[in-house]
Amino acid sequence: MRLRALLDTDALGLRLLGGEDELDRSVRGVMTTDLRDPSRYLSGGELVLTGLAWRRDADDSEPFVRLLVQAGVAALAAGEAELGDVPEDLAVACARHRLPLFAVHESVAFATITEHVVRQVSGERAGDLAAVVDRHRRMMTSGPAGGGPDVVLDLLGSDLDLRAWVLSPTGRLIAGSKVAGPALPAETCARLAAEHLAATRTGRRGPHRVLLDGATYSLFPVRSAGRPSGGARDVRETVLSDWLLAVDADAGDWAEERLDLLQGVTQLIAVERERRDAARTVRRRLAQEVLELVQTGAAPAEIAARLRVAAPVLLPGLGAAPHWQVVVARVEWEGEQAEGGPVAQSLLEEVLVDPLATGPEPADRIAVAHIGDEAIALVPLPAVAAEHDGSETGLLADSVLRSVREPLSAGLDGDGRLTLGVSAAVHSAEGLRGALEEARHARRVAAARPGRVCAAGHQELASHVLLLPFVPDDVRRAFTARLLDPLTDYDRRHRAELIPTLEAFLDSDGSWTRCASRLHLHVNTLRYRVGRIEQLTGRDLSRLEDKLDFFLALRMS
């Protein structure tokens, strides 16, 4: 019951002395006390009744009220029978701590108030419990098997007026109730997923409460049956694959019955998650078979036969044989080893879901296997759309992870990394082995970059840039120091701008006139600077080998 209801009950004879803005607080019980410190007997949510026998002077009010507030009581009601009017110092202390204060007329017995509160609270709890039992029954009979998680979320909206959504760990909206109003914006979904993953990595138990844009959300983890829920190792192996239930409400002051109901909802959603995972079994098996053939050097005809089996499953309704791209991903953890292969597999299946697909179950058009700590995806492309080498119409490394970097970085939490490589599109079974190696090389390029979530594509393998990340750090430092330190020192002493001149000269392909025009110098001034560069380094910028050394040194510096 609410404090406002007590005030509106004439038979109780309560008069409000302060706290008008707090009258919507819930009352869960009642306690009568004249102890100076009753906090050990309080559990929160009580209406405290006192005859003020604890008060000896004005200095006693502040510590008494502070103890009540720390215990989480709903309000204080002071009787007027002993002292007449309620003391001003008590009213001041209650106002300071935002604790509602009532005066109880001397003609009203505390027993009358206690009996009223107990009767109301007991009746409401009995009604809540009956409603919870009924909702559990309805959800179990019309839950995921009868319509997906949307059915359960609709019941939450219609029966409890709770707006709720199911999100993936990357922030993809999986389901939402029809009565929840407009779908959550993609940015909000990503931020909620990031907050959930960050809280999960700390080991705190859900629900996690998050304040975003003035609204409070409660986030409940959705863990599949049989998955462990505790331990640092277990968390790292599941945090990037578990779904979450986001509720537009603050669960901090919910009764146990309502929390139990929401936990039951997460269990029903977990059943749906397992059903969808089971539906991917065929695609996973096809990917495993094709990749084993590719890695063992099977004949192209044998690989092509398996691809013909896979095509109708992955691209139903397409008559033409698809083209293919290969995506390789790894999740690696620092320190104690946690299994990364299954996590990388789940992540690839999530981030490669068709972004144009709509409805409660997006079209999965990929097959992902994991071999050790490496996950490998076969991504089919319609043959007509892939005619332009796949680089324009297929997956691009930058776009694959662009929208999921924030939540995944939160889940990796400083001790994990996700690296991903994307191949070009290939037109036949003969090209799959090369595409697999290309994707693996691209992933290694991504792994050499800073950051928790990195990707690289096949376009980056056709450049000298491919070689630079694999040069040991000490070799890179020694090489650049030997070539560039003399120029840097000279520039620092004489402000000669030899380094910018060298960069411009190489960018101009050694053309004196183009470089001089670019730097707004006379050609003779440019020749003087280049001569000084050659003198300080002992190199000859007319030789291709020396030009290449300078070019690489500048790129590695």
Q: Is residue 401 included in any domain, yes or no?
A: yes
286 and 318 assigned to the same domain: yes
Mean per-residue pLDDT of the chain? 79
Pairing of strands 323-333, 374-381: antiparallel
172 and 264 assigned to the same domain: yes
432 and 399 assigned to the same domain: yes
The DSSP string of 258-286 is: HHHHHHHHHHHHHHHHHHHHHHTHHHHHH
What is the per-residue pLDDT for 171? 87
Range scoring the smallest mean pLDDT among 89-103, 218-232, 293-307, 487-501: 218-232
**Interior angle at CA 237, CA 204 and CA 189, nearest 5:** 65
314 and 431 assigned to the same domain: yes
310 and 358 assigned to the same domain: yes
Q: What is the pLDDT of residues 334-352, one digit of tens each?
A: 765 656 778 888 888 888 8
Residue 456's pLDDT band (cuts 50, 70, 90): confident
Can you give the pTM of this predicted structure? 0.57
Select the more confidently predicted residue: 75 or 290: 75
Residue 459's pLDDT band (cuts 50, 70, 90): confident
226 and 331 assigned to the same domain: no
Q: Is residue 533 included in any domain, yes or no?
A: yes
Residue 139's pLDDT band (cuts 50, 70, 90): low
CATH code of the domain containing 94: 3.40.1390.20
Q: Is residue 86 included in any domain, yes or no?
A: yes
57 and 112 assigned to the same domain: yes
| Residues with Cβ within 8 Å of residue 131, at least 6 apart in sequence | 159
What is the per-residue pLDDT for 245? 93
274 and 288 assigned to the same domain: no
Q: Residue 472: what residue type?
A: P
Select the more confidently predicted residue: 385 or 221: 221
Pairing of strands 29-32, 46-50: parallel
Q: What is the pLDDT of residues 371-414, one digit of tens each?
A: 878 899 888 776 544 444 434 456 676 677 776 777 887 777 77
What is the per-residue pLDDT for 342? 81
Range scoring the smallest mean pLDDT among 23-27, 66-70, 340-344: 340-344
- The mean per-residue pLDDT over the stretch 47-73 comes to 92
What is the per-residue pLDDT for 127? 53
Q: What is the pLDDT of residues 144-170, one digit of tens each?
A: 445 567 777 877 777 777 889 999 888
Question: Which one, of 74, 76, 162, lies nearest residue 121 by Cα?
Answer: 74
308 and 354 assigned to the same domain: yes
Distance CA(216)–CA(210), nearest Å, equals 6
Q: What is the pLDDT of residues 286-311, one digit of tens each?
A: 888 888 888 888 888 888 888 777 66
Residue 59's pLDDT band (cuts 50, 70, 90): very high
Q: Is 375 helix (H, G, I), strand (E, B) or coil?
A: strand
Residue 64's pLDDT band (cuts 50, 70, 90): very high
Select the more confidently predicted residue: 152 or 506: 506
Residue 429 has pLDDT above 50, yes or no: yes
Q: Which of 463, 497, 525 is the last residue of a domain?
A: 463
| Residues with Cβ within 8 Å of residue 284, at least 6 apart in sequence | 345, 367, 368, 369
**Interior angle at CA 232, CA 229 and CA 234, nearest 5:** 45
* Enclosing domain of residue 536: 473-556
| Residues with Cβ within 8 Å of residue 38, at least 6 apart in sequence | 31, 48, 67, 68, 71
